[in-house]
Amino acid sequence: MVRVLVTGSTDGLGLATAETLLGDGHDVIVHARSRQRMAAVKHLMDRGAHCLVAELADPVDVRQMAEQANQIGAIDAVIHNAGVLNGSAVLPVNVVAPYVLTALIQGPRRLIYLSSGMHRGGDTGFSGLDWTGRSATASYSTSKLHVTALSAAVARLAPRIVSSAVDPGWVPTRMGGRSAPDDLRLGHRTQEWLATSNDPAALSTGGYWYHQRTHTPHPAVRDQRYQEALLAQLAEHTGVTLEALA
For residue 178, the model assigns a pLDDT of 66
For residue 151, the model assigns a pLDDT of 98
* pLDDT tens per residue across span 80-133: 999 999 999 999 999 999 999 999 999 999 999 999 999 999 999 999 999 999
CA 184 → CA 23, 51, 135, 166, 208, distances in Å?
Answer: 17, 24, 32, 14, 19
For residue 73, the model assigns a pLDDT of 87
Residue 231 in 3-state DSSP? helix
Total Cβ atoms within 10 A of residue 141: 18
For residue 244, the model assigns a pLDDT of 85
For residue 169, the model assigns a pLDDT of 80
For residue 76, the model assigns a pLDDT of 98
Which residues in the chain land under pLDDT 70? 171-183
Q: What is the mean pLDDT of the chain?
A: 95
Q: How far apart are CA 3 and CA 73, in angstroms?
A: 9
Domains annotated for the chain, with CATH where assigned, are 3-245 (3.40.50.720)
Long-range pairs of 87-91 with CB within 8 A, sequence gap ≥ 24:
87/136, 88/130, 88/133, 88/134, 88/135, 88/136, 89/56, 89/57, 89/133, 90/133, 90/136, 90/138, 90/139, 90/140, 90/143, 91/129, 91/130, 91/131, 91/133, 91/137, 91/138, 91/143, 91/146
For residue 175, the model assigns a pLDDT of 63
Instruction: Please name the residues in contact with 84: beta carbons below 8 A apart, sequence gap of 6 or more.
Output: 90, 93, 94, 140
Residues involved in catalysis:
140, 144
Whole-structure pTM value = 0.96
For residue 171, the model assigns a pLDDT of 55
For residue 183, the model assigns a pLDDT of 66
For residue 182, the model assigns a pLDDT of 66
For residue 246, the model assigns a pLDDT of 78
Candidates 186, 189, 184, 227; CA nearest to 95 is 227
